[in-house]
Amino acid sequence: MTDVLRYTAFTTDPAGGNPAGIVLHADSLSDEQMLAIAAEVGYSETAFVLREGRTPPHLGLRFFSALDEVAFCGHATIATAVALAERGEGGTVVFETPAGEVEVTTAEVVGVLRASLTSVPTRTRPVPGAALGEALEALRLSGADLAEDLPPLLSYAGNEHLVLALASRQRLAELDYDFARLKDLMTEQGWTTVQLVWREDERTFHSRNPFPVGGVVEDPATGSAAAALGGYLLALELVTEPRTIRVVQGVDMGRPSELLVDVRPDDLRVTVSGAAVELPTAQR
């Protein structure tokens, strides 16, 4: 029987954050078995650690949703790093993922074990007009709902995300979308999530991430999307000096999460950090 840990990332409260399954020894599992385990766990992603043929600090890491393999998953990476550190494998780990190498460092900060991942180099591109129009219709949004000073972009940080900045916090709270229609569009375009954000100030963003391609309506914390947001801000030249961006997510779902995003104007890589905590049996 495969031992599956269950953690929630980007929180210190088991009632918050984004849950992830973790299998710390997965070399004997086939792709089909990993997918079946992820489906049984039922979270947006489950992470599988691979050790054979690798020398620490290098470890393989794969991610499966209930429906398919995902190239990269930030919250499951953070959760895995914390789970490893709690079992004596802390410090710096280099995860070899389908999206490339991702370096993660764990350290205790004010009594809380936190993990920080450094993304692959981010990149952005314009959103094809037809795809943007279809996305807005599926999300039941109009052009008037978008922030005038933050244009839509596709941003990549291991996965590609459509980033849409909204004009008001209220409109973000009112998220309601056509699940099947958005899933079909995202599958066609190869988008992992649609990231809806509202900028409270230059250092604080509120975020919601529809994830129909993963079989769930919404993620309460999305590390890869937070990294993509950092790349988005770099592409718009909104970061002129090293800065930490606080991303608040999951509030409207009742699972508050906090993601810290460190960006530098001279580096296309982005660092995302947060805590993680193992879920008690009653909350699994």
Predicted local confidence at residue 282, as pLDDT: 57
Does residue 283 register a pLDDT over 70? no
For the chain, domains (ranges, CATH) are 5-118 (3.10.310.10), 123-276 (3.10.310.10)
Q: Where are the alpha helices (DSSP H) in 42-150?
A: 74-86, 129-138
Catalytic residue among 45, 160, 218, 258: 45
Residue among 230, 167, 152, 232 at smallest CA distance from 198? 167
pTM of the model: 0.91
| 208 vs 211: CA distance, rounded Å | 10
Question: Residues 94, 101: contact at Cβ < 8 Å?
Answer: yes
Q: For residue range 99-109, list pLDDT tens digits in order.
A: 999 999 999 98
pLDDT category, 214, cuts 50, 70, 90?
Answer: confident
pLDDT category, 215, cuts 50, 70, 90?
Answer: confident
Average pLDDT across the chain, whole number: 95
| 77 vs 266: CA distance, rounded Å | 25
45 as an active site residue: the answer is: yes
Does residue 24 register a pLDDT over 70? yes
Predicted local confidence at residue 284, as pLDDT: 62
CB atoms within 10 A of CB 106: 23
Predicted local confidence at residue 216, as pLDDT: 86
Does residue 28 register a pLDDT over 60? yes
Beta bridge partners, 204, equal 201, 246
Q: For residue range 232-254, list pLDDT tens digits in order.
A: 999 999 999 999 999 999 999 99
Residue 68 has, within 13 A of its CA and on its CB side, a CA count of 11
One-letter amino acid at 248 equals V
